Amino acid sequence: MAIEIPPMRASIAKLRALFHVQTDKPDLMRAQVKALSTQVPVLYFIVIVNTLALAYTHYGVAPAVLTISFPIIVTIACLVRARTWLQTRAEAMSEAAMGRLLKTTVGLGAAIAGVILVWGIALFQYGDAYAQGHVAFYLGITVISCIFCLMHLRPAALWLTGIAIVPLTIFLLSTERPVFIAIALNMLLVSSTMVYILLVYSRDFANMIDFQRENLRLANLDSLTDLPNRRQFFSTLQALLGRATREKQRFVVGLVDLDGFKAVNDLYGHTAGDKVLIEVARRLQGVRDDKILFSRLGGDEFGVIVDADLDDDAMQALGLRICKALEPPFVMPGIVVEVLGSVGFAAFPGAASTAELLFERADYALYHAKQHLRGRPVIFSIEHETEIRQFAHVERCLREADFQAEMSLNFQPIVDVERGKVVGFEALARWVSPILGRVAPDVFIRVAERSDLINRLTRTLLRQALDAAKTWPSDIRVSFNLSMRDLVSREAILGIVAIIEDSGIATSRIELEVTETALIQDFDQANESLLTLRALGLGISLDDFGTGYSSLSYVQQFPIDTLKIDRSFVRDVETKPSCRAIVKSVIDLCRNLKLTCVVEGMETEDQVCVLRALGCTTMQGYLFGKPMPAGEVLGFLKASCPRLRLETPKVLAAAS
């Protein structure tokens, strides 16, 4: 039941609040201190000048204690306080310090008003009418000037008005002289107007600060998740870096990226994606404490700043907590979505000493996690630093490379074991650098994809692949891999189309391989690119099937002819029923959708037997042939290859 406060008590409470500093509003206090740091010194300057002027006109008329001692004391006190205010920096003050300073200002303002009033009245009895008029002018103009200087601090201005103006008005009225009575009434009218203006100005000033604070909050807040945004993340990082550098402290920067989020937007729309992001933010907030700040940097990427000295074990534990929090499915009406979170960490000062490099190092650790340990945390290490330097060296050499002379292709056979026949070859890139020697494909292709070199590399190798295929029998296909950057660039796709058309080779003999990772980067553009290629009569193959994000959905939505089952499912197909079940499901899917199914990574005849029993006939792997230079392909095709004509498979009981 609500307790009703009597109107009189409420009015009294509001009146009392007018005379107190609002210490519950730090932003307002900081704005007040900042304004007063320039205005209060002016106030003290006015008090000093007016006091010395009045003392001068009464010198020799009034006692020395009033015309010499008092002005000297007031001048010294005002100079000390003015110096204090001139050295005040609101940005560097704590809330408690600002509150104490403002309360002190209120008290000193009231004290100054009282002292000036008493001194002026004491001088009033000395001198002629002109001297008394000067006293009245001094009291009125000095007090009004002080009120103006304290307009940003309402309690101080109100106390000064009440302590100085009201008694002064009464005193002047008591003189019973028409001139002073007129001055008193005029001063009372001006003071009343000033109080009204003061209250309105004080209210508007407080509202303006609240408005600025809200604008600043919105400018630094992600509107969807209510987490700090990218701007606030880097602002906090820069401030923390400065403090940590001065105090020689450690802290940690991290990045969290959602694996599979792009598929959510593509399949269920951005509304579902937004709901997932909101829930991700809520789960991350459940992990945080007063030392951890989470921010949304954009899309499905989140930033982490840990203002604490964490060793590798503690960072790993925090990363696992974050990943664990994101593991449970995201349940929405009619939809259940599963995404994983990968995390990359970099610690200051071990990983880097600048904000930009710290972020880059954390991003590299995140990239490593997404490539090798998806859904797990990775801490930037010396090994990663070495990789970065090696990759930078590889990139420099790659930029200077003569692609036509240094790049080549090896070809690995794809066989139909049912017919005992080679049906195609997959083109695999090779690079022999005059500076680096042989460079592993996963290294230089990765470097090319992270730079602007991959499209140029694709064009060079595609021409070589098609030139080689021209020398093969007309029933042998060539399979060529496209990169993510090829698919999302319309210009790159048009260049690929031009190369294929100029080659003169039948498009039915060409198959282009893409990965799910490439498809999710830009769903619409990737689909448009594949449709363009498919319209030429090319085959489209989805590589590494089963290791991506939402494989079945891509089979339905993209123009795909072939699925290539990743080697990771084949490795244990002889011993693990779960692997056989997965492979059997994919084979059945291909049969129902009239797609070709190719199984990669075949190394033993037992694997072939199991897979034939499951219904697969098209295979690729070292068992049938290692990647070979273009000049050896025709010889391989002519030579007899017993492995292509295996006996009727031994149907394992476990595979039946």
For residues 481 and 487, give the distance between their C-alpha atoms in angstroms, rounded to a whole number: 11
Domain count, the chain: 3
Q: Which of 266, 272, 330 is nearest to 556 (CA)?
A: 266
For residues 19 and 8, give the distance between their C-alpha atoms in angstroms, rounded to a whole number: 17
Residue 517: per-residue pLDDT: 67
Do the Cβ atoms of 408 and 438 come closer than 8 Å?
A: no
Higher-pLDDT residue of 642 and 556 is: 556
Q: Is residue 9 part of a domain?
A: no
Residue 606: per-residue pLDDT: 87
Cα–Cα distances in Å, from 222 out to 212, 231, 294?
Answer: 17, 10, 11
Residue 641: per-residue pLDDT: 52
Residue 656: per-residue pLDDT: 36
Give the lowest-confidence range in 171-180, 307-316, 541-550.
541-550
Tell me, yes or no, whether 349 and 420 share the same domain. Answer: no
Pairing state of beta strands 340-348 and 377-379?
A: parallel
For residues 259 and 300, give the distance between their C-alpha atoms in angstroms, rounded to a whole number: 9
Tell me, yes or no, whether 134 and 84 share the same domain. Answer: yes
The pLDDT confidence band at residue 569, using thresholds 50, 70 and 90, is confident
Tell me, yes or no, whether 184 and 276 share the same domain. Answer: no
Higher-pLDDT residue of 576 and 472 is: 472
What CATH number does residue 261 fall under?
Answer: 3.30.70.270
Do the Cβ atoms of 455 and 510 come closer than 8 Å?
A: no
The type of residue at 215 is: N
Residue 170: per-residue pLDDT: 87
For residues 188 and 182, give the distance between their C-alpha atoms in angstroms, rounded to a whole number: 10
Higher-pLDDT residue of 221 and 237 is: 237
Asked if pLDDT for residue 233 goes beyond 80, the answer is: yes
Residue 397: per-residue pLDDT: 92
The pLDDT confidence band at residue 306, using thresholds 50, 70 and 90, is very high
The pLDDT confidence band at residue 642, using thresholds 50, 70 and 90, is very low
Write down which residue in 328, 353, 380 finishes a domain.
380
Tell me, yes or no, whether 525 and 572 share the same domain. Answer: yes
Q: Which of 568, 553, 642 is nearest to 599 (CA)?
A: 568
Q: Is residue 387 part of a domain?
A: no
**pLDDT tens digits, 419-440:** 888 999 999 999 999 999 999 9
pTM here?
0.56
Residue 7: per-residue pLDDT: 65
**pLDDT tens digits, 342-368:** 999 999 988 888 889 999 999 989 988
**pLDDT tens digits, 448-477:** 888 778 899 999 999 999 999 999 999 999
Tell me, yes or no, whether 147 and 287 share the same domain. Answer: no
Q: Which of 71, 70, 163 is nearest to 108 (CA)?
A: 163
The pLDDT confidence band at residue 647, using thresholds 50, 70 and 90, is very low
Mean pLDDT of the chain: 85
Write down which residue in 163, 187, 218 finishes a domain.
218
Number of neighbours of residue 489 by Cβ within 10 angstroms: 18
Q: Which two tokens stand for residue 132?
A: 């008394």
Tell me, yes or no, whether 529 and 563 share the same domain. Answer: yes
Q: Is residue 4 part of a domain?
A: no
Residue 91: per-residue pLDDT: 78
Tell me, yes or no, whether 376 and 421 share the same domain. Answer: no
What CATH number does residue 554 fall under?
Answer: 3.20.20.450
Residue 655: per-residue pLDDT: 39
Asked if pLDDT for residue 654 goes beyond 50, the answer is: no
Asked if pLDDT for residue 491 goes beyond 50, the answer is: yes
Cα–Cα distances in Å, from 20 out to 96, 145, 157, 179, 438?
Answer: 15, 21, 11, 36, 78
Residue 518: per-residue pLDDT: 66
Domain region containing 618 = 392-643
Q: CA angle, 39 as apex, 38 and 40 as ends, to 5°?
A: 105
**pLDDT tens digits, 14-63:** 667 777 778 888 888 888 888 888 888 998 899 999 999 999 999 988 99
Residue 383: per-residue pLDDT: 83
Q: Which residues contact 487 (CB under 8 A, 6 or more apart)?
A: 493, 514, 518, 519, 521, 522, 525, 526, 529, 530
Q: Is residue 610 part of a domain?
A: yes
Tell me, yes or no, whether 297 and 396 share the same domain. Answer: no
Do the Cβ atoms of 87 and 93 come closer than 8 Å?
A: no
Tell me, yes or no, whether 182 and 246 share the same domain. Answer: no
Tell me, yes or no, whether 84 and 204 share the same domain. Answer: yes
Q: Is residue 312 part of a domain?
A: yes
Question: How far out from the chain centre does Cα 604 lie?
Answer: 48
What average pLDDT does this structure show over 545-551?
55
Q: Is residue 167 part of a domain?
A: yes
Tell me, yes or no, whether 369 and 279 share the same domain. Answer: yes
**Greatest pairwise CA separation for the chain in angstroms:** 133
Q: What is the residue whose two structure tokens read 């290539």?
A: 564
Tell me, yes or no, whether 484 and 575 share the same domain. Answer: yes
Asked if pLDDT for residue 551 goes beyond 60, the answer is: no
The pLDDT confidence band at residue 184, using thresholds 50, 70 and 90, is confident
Q: Is residue 238 part of a domain?
A: yes
Q: Is residue 5 part of a domain?
A: no
**CB pairs under 8 A, 24+ apart, for 563-568?**
563/589, 563/590, 563/595, 563/596, 563/597, 563/598, 564/513, 564/598, 564/599, 564/600, 564/620, 565/597, 565/598, 565/599, 565/600, 565/616, 566/600, 566/601, 567/600, 567/601, 567/621, 568/601
Write down which residue in 186, 218, 250 finishes a domain.
218
What average pLDDT does this structure show over 124-135?
87
Asked if pLDDT for residue 592 goes beyond 70, the answer is: yes
Angle between helices 454-469 and 441-450 (to 10 degrees): 130
